[in-house]
Amino acid sequence: MRALIIGSSGQVGSNLERACAVKGLEVYGADIKPASKGLYIDVSEPVSVRAAFETAQPGVVFLCAAMTYVDGCEKNPALAEKINVKGTEITTACCREAGSKLVYLSTEYVFDGKNGPYSETDAPNPVSVYGRTKLEGERLALALKSALSIRTTVVYSYAPGEKNFLMQLIDAARSGVKMRVPKDQYSNPTYAPELAEFMVELVLKNKIGIYNVVGAERMERYSFALKACEILGLNTSLIEPALTSELGQTAARPLSAGLKTDKLKKELGRAPLGASDSLSIIKGLLSNGRSA
């Protein structure tokens, strides 16, 4: 099967490229800043999306491109709408025309965080522009009968030069900079390579609809930061707990969030590991001199 990964230079997209290749899929990566052999795409521009479909002739399309900077979306809702909603509408239309399966990346930020963790059937109620535009995108994607929407959260991996939460933590610790981390935002940190592996498995098993794919341990961001420092041998004294209300973030955050994976366990017989196990994998890879 031919897979088109839109947003292939990003954290989830780059891990998906590897997970698809492992399962023997023929991969076409596309991004607004494509890697050397990748295709150019701007999801908000129909001409470029059509061109990527014509080149890739995809059986499956993974839509990972999005405006993911939560506070940036709050400051520029028109741009968030253009990329996260219009971009999904254009991609969905191309999937419909080409008969391609669509896999949309969604988020726990579709919830208000009043009483998480949430299952796939709980009622969404986003509290930010990012959450609202991602939910609108999800609804557009799911109008396609064969579409899958994967809801995830706090995705991390060891990727030097990237800005995921784990890398921000490692960079701050290595340069001796203090980092204030919220102690009241609960969610399930999710290891990107495992997320990608589960996404491909769901596609190969012809699953449709919404699936939560997150790490097994639900914890607040501060505990995750401490755990990561302890396991990776970083200085924990630089990590300072803070309330979200003290951090001056532009967009509201769902505080008591997190997602349940009962559906995944029931249908696949397994679910992703918890943060302790995934961080230990990263430690093992690093001590063997390999990238994680």
Ligand X SMILES: NC(=O)c1ccc[n+]([C@@H]2O[C@H](COP(=O)([O-])OP(=O)(O)OC[C@H]3O[C@@H](n4cnc5c(N)ncnc54)[C@H](OP(=O)(O)O)[C@@H]3O)[C@@H](O)[C@H]2O)c1
Residues that bind ligand X (CB under 6 A): 7, 9-13, 31-33, 41-44, 64-66, 68, 83, 87, 105, 107, 134, 152-155
Residues 123 and 125: their CA atoms lie apart, in Å, by: 7
Q: At closest approach, how far in Å is the CB of 256 from ligand X?
A: 17
Side chain identity, residue 103: V
Mention every residue, 6+ apart, whose C-beta is less than 8 A from residue 290. Answer: none
A 10 A CB-CB count for 277 gives 15
Question: Which CB, 10 or 215, lies closer to ligand X?
Answer: 10
Instruction: Please report how close the Cβ of residue 71 comes to ligand X at its closest, in angstroms.
Output: 14
Between 9 and 92, CB nearer to ligand X = 9
HSE (side-chain half, CA atoms, 13 Å) at 246? 10
- Minimum gap (Å) between residue 176 Cβ and ligand X: 26
Output the residue with the shortest Cβ distance to ligand X.
Answer: 10
Closer to ligand X by Cβ: residue 16 or 234 = 16
Separation in Å, CA 9 to CA 12, 132, 210: 8, 24, 24
Q: Are 68 and 105 in contact (CB under 8 A)?
A: no
Our CB check for ligand X shows the closer of 31 and 136 to be 31
Least distance to ligand X, CB of residue 102, Å: 13
Least distance from ligand X to the Cβ atom of residue 152, Å: 5
> Based on CB atoms, which residue is closest to ligand X, 100 or 152?
152
Q: In whole angstroms, give the CA distance from residue 80 to residue 70.
A: 9
**Are 232 and 282 within 8 A, CB to CB?**
yes
Sign of CA dihedral 196, 200, 205, 209: positive
Closest listed residue to residue 25, CA positions, set 14, 17, 33, 15? 17
Tell the smallest beta-carbon distance from residue 6 to ligand X (Å): 6
Q: What DSSP character marks residue 259?
A: B
Q: Which is nearer to ligand X, 14 or 234 (CB)?
A: 14
